């Protein structure tokens, strides 16, 4: 098998099947919804308007049935993956058979340095990825709100994570419902303590993923982001800031951003003294019920691997892992 850099005259023949493959993999993994396909296709085709995108190199086999698209400009990184934007990005790959020659090429192009990419649970290049060193930087989960419930694991479709590395924790599944949780709008006097708590948590998790940084750096980054997004505090349009409340007191908070029929879970946090009571799971189910009543149909969330507990909580109520952001080394 010969692997070579694509010739300019071949780009027009490759691009339609390359973009179709990107769409098929994302749709099969629930990372791309039907309503998003047209816009996604248009965006990718536009990148090839004058040939191979600036800063990109695309390698193919003889019949253009396998390929590897590498962006070395630092411009194709996932904007939601802090720290990765300046790295080389493996934008798209389709390798079905012998992976070793492609690994050798990847090492040559990258100089052996880490390269960022997305891995989708229903992709068709498992053999390419499984032999590479991988460091997870982000895990993306999503669910149709109609499917979010407290059903026991035996009563819901099996939700396996990529490579079987994460699946619902039976201990979480077996915990009984407390039945005393409800959500209410967070008051202006409460948001300060909630933001302090989530910044402490988020910055520690980010520093664990990016060891060349420190907690204080991420705390500054997080605070700037929160201040920009929640510019009107608890009254900021498009944001639900809710206190997790028992019959007697607030035990945590939950923040969701709503855009039409889609919502993004920004942060779910239970305060230290109240952990171990299954409040996270109950709050997530209550949020789903609340959003459904508002006409929201789908919810997604992005987390780092060290947030294993909340990832397992999400999986336990019907979320699926739709994408992993990783750094790979050849």
149 with 17, same domain: the answer is no
9 with 107, same domain: the answer is yes
Q: What is the mean pLDDT of the chain?
A: 88
121 with 268, same domain: the answer is no
pTM comes to 0.84
74 with 175, same domain: the answer is no
Residue 327 lies in a domain: no
Query: What total number of domains does the chain contain?
Result: 2
Domain termination site, one of 131, 160, 188? 131
Q: What is the pLDDT of residues 176-199, one digit of tens each?
A: 455 578 999 999 999 999 999 999
Q: What is the pLDDT of residues 93-114, one digit of tens each?
A: 999 888 999 999 999 999 888 8
240 with 114, same domain: the answer is no
pLDDT of residue 149: 83
CB 56 within 8 A of CB 72: yes
Give the Cα separation of 115 and 212 in Å (integer).
16
- Say if residue 245's pLDDT is above 60: yes
- Say if residue 82's pLDDT is above 60: no
Token representation of residue 118: 């997305």
The bridge status of strand 250-259 relative to strand 262-270 is antiparallel
173 with 234, same domain: the answer is yes
Give the Cα separation of 283 and 288 in Å (integer).
9
pLDDT of residue 97: 80
- Say if residue 83's pLDDT is above 70: no
278 with 175, same domain: the answer is yes
164 with 43, same domain: the answer is no
Domain termination site, one of 131, 160, 193? 131
147 with 285, same domain: the answer is yes
In angstroms, the first-to-last Cα distance of the chain is 19
Strand ranges across the sheet with 56-60: 4-5, 56-60, 67-71, 89-94, 115-119, 320-329, 133-144, 298-303, 262-270, 250-259, 239-245, 182-185
Residue 330 lies in a domain: no
pLDDT of residue 223: 96
Residue 77 lies in a domain: yes
172 with 31, same domain: the answer is no
Domain termination site, one of 99, 131, 163? 131
pLDDT of residue 166: 54
Confidence of residue 151 (pLDDT cuts 50, 70, 90): low
- The residue range of the domain holding 245 is 141-322
CATH number of the domain that residue 183 is part of: 3.40.630.30
Give the Cα separation of 19 and 40 in Å (integer).
9
Instruction: Using only the alpha carbons of the chain, give its radius of gyration.
Output: 21
């Amino acid at each position: 098998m010969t692997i070579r850099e694509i010739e300019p005259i071949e780009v027009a023949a490759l691009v339609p099947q390359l973009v179709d493959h990107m769409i098929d993999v994302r749709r099969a993994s629930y990372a791309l919804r039907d309503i998003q396909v047209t816009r996604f296709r248009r965006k990718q085709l536009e990148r090839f308007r004058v040939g191979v995108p600036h800063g990109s190199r695309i390698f193919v086999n003889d019949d253009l049935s396998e390929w590897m698209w590498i962006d070395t400009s630092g411009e194709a990184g996932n904007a939601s993956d802090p720290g990765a934007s300046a790295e080389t990005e493996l934008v798209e790959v389709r390798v079905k058979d012998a992976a070793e020659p492609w690994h050798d090429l990847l090492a040559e192009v990258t100089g052996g340095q880490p390269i960022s990419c997305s891995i989708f649970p229903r992709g068709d290049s498992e053999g390419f990825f499984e032999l590479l060193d991988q460091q997870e930087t982000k895990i993306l989960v999503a669910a149709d709100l109609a499917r979010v419930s407290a059903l026991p694991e035996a009563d819901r479709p099996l939700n396996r994570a990529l490579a079987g590395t994460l699946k619902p924790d039976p201990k979480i599944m077996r915990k009984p419902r407390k039945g005393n949780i409800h959500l209410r709008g967070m008051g202006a006097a409460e948001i300060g303590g909630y933001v302090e708590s989530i910044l402490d948590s988020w910055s520690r998790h980010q520093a664990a993923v990016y060891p060349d940084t420190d907690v204080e750096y991420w705390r500054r980054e997080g605070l700037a982001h929160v201040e920009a997004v929640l510019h009107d505090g608890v009254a900021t349009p498009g944001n639900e800031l809710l206190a997790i409340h028992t019959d007697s007191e607030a035990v945590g908070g939950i923040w969701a951003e709503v855009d039409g029929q889609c919502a993004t879970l920004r942060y779910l946090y239970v305060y230290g003294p109240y952990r171990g009571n299954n409040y996270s799971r109950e709050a997530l189910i209550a949020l789903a019920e609340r959003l459904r009543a508002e006409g929201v149909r789908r919810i997604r969330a992005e987390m780092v691997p060290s947030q294993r507990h909340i990832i397992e909580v999400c999986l336990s109520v019907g979320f699926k892992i739709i994408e992993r952001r990783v750094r790979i080394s050849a």
